[in-house]
Structure 1
Amino acid sequence: MSTFPARRIVVLISGSGTNLQALIDAQNTPSLPHASIVLVFSNRKAAFGLTRASEAKPSIRTGYLALQPYLKAHPGKTRDDYDAEVARRVLQECPDLIVLAGWMHVFGESFLDLANQAKGGDGVPVINLHPALPGAFDGTNAIERAYEAFQKGEIEHSGVMVHRVVKDVDRGEPLIVREIPFTKEDTLDDFAKRLHMVEWDIIVEASKQVLDQVLPVPP
């Protein structure tokens, strides 16, 4: 087991990277054994998650490419071309798993097609963390929309999930789902803080689950 190579993870982020930090802290622990984050990639240059990666011990390589600068620098290119370029840069790292951890850009089919064709057609799994329950509050601002629905008396709980990424936004197979109840005293900030703490657990748990499926650690 000591000679088993580290399982390679690429993490895509757009913001502060608290979920990334959970993965960084879990590397090569019982929660995420024989695993190494080989690249943190962002579509926002100022994303603090890039700093988290560069200041990790050991430091983690980072990459950056934003949609609008890419389109401006490549007249005639499209959003699909951008997605394919991100896929190319990510797949250069030969990942065993791609994790979208607060990645605020919806990939089209070109990214997923290239990920599915990688590794000689075996494909590289792509998973996403989404702060809502399956089928509820797909897309952006899910926490705020859930809280608004709670305030209107429409729901009593929301939740968070990690799911496989497919072309339909937030509709891939759920891997881990956690319900999070509201309380009468909850502010939006209270609820968001409680939800984020659950996110940090399940993003690690789901990453281990998928890695164990595609590249199990020998006994």
Structure 2
Amino acid sequence: MTDTPPPRRIVVLISGSGTNLQALIDAQDTPALPNAHIVLVLSNRKAAYGLTRAASARPPIPTAYLALAPYLKAHANATRADYDAAVAALVVGAQPDLVVLAGWMHVLSERFLDAVSPIAVINLHPALPGAFDGAHAIERTYAAFQRGEVRGGGAMVHRVVREVDRGEPLVVREVEIREGEAMEAFEERLHRTEWEIIVEGARKALDEVRPA
């Protein structure tokens, strides 16, 4: 009898409600994300509902919380890069095969990337490659559509590199903006696309480092 390989390990970083995290929770150890378990959910916001989602999963997923301002207050002379190193230490301690930034609202510095290397790190971003890097991408996409500058929007899962939202795309999905559509309606449809591609991107990245 062939021994079953140990589950592939995922760490997820969040800042908010965790709907993208929920998509990963629901997909773990299914045909969409086979032989994969989330081993840690880390938030930089104490009240992030994603922590509750993780704790309510079956079995419960371990969680951690580390925010920038309290960290700097507790560590005299510490810098933002020191905080990133502390985040990296928590991540590396969970021994993941993959790190997924799922709504993590903090730009990670080289200190983080150097500390977690060679672990793969991917990010979900609600815009097409090279279109609207950084924060508020959905609002900026919608505004550009209203000005006639773009025909629609989209979302992607990409590798995390030093340049914000400039890593190699793993999964890209276009999402149309309908004439007369409110931004909230576009945003809702885009989020549904995100729930699909974050799972697809996680599987693709995992299959590269540890095939199921």
TM bin (shorter chain): over 0.9
Confirm or deny that 1:23 pairs with 2:45.
no
CA deviation profile, 1:2-39 (whole Å, cap 9, x unmatched): 62100000000000000000000001000000000000
Tell me which of 117, 141, 150 is aligned to 1:146: 141
Confirm or deny that 1:206 pairs with 2:206.
no
The 5 Å alignment of 1:130-209 reads: 130-209=125-204
Displacement of 1:185 in angstroms is 2.6
Unaligned segments of structure 2, at least 5 residues: none
The secondary structure found in structure 1 opposite 2:189 is: helix
The 5 Å alignment of 1:1-219 reads: 3-116=4-117, 123-217=118-212
Displacement of 1:214 in angstroms is 0.3
CA–CA distance in structure 2, aligned partners of residues 90 and 78 of structure 1? 19
CA–CA distance in structure 2, aligned partners of residues 75 and 186 of structure 1? 50
CA–CA distance in structure 2, aligned partners of residues 76 and 195 of structure 1? 41
The secondary structure found in structure 1 opposite 2:6 is: coil
Q: Where has structure 1 moved over 3 Å in runs of 4 or more?
A: none
Instruction: Name the aligned partner's letter for residue 135 of structure 1.
Output: G
Q: How many residues align?
A: 211
Kindly report the root-mean-square deviation, in angstroms, between the aligned alpha carbons of the 2 structures.
0.8
Displacement of 1:115 in angstroms is 1.2
The secondary structure found in structure 1 opposite 2:173 is: strand
Instruction: Name the aligned partner's letter for residue 87 of structure 1.
Output: A
Instruction: Name the aligned partner's letter for residue 136 of structure 1.
Output: A
**2:24 touches 2:198 (CA, 8 Å); kept in 1?**
yes
- TM (normalized to structure 2)? 0.98
Q: 1:2 to 1:24 in 2, by over 3 A?
A: farther
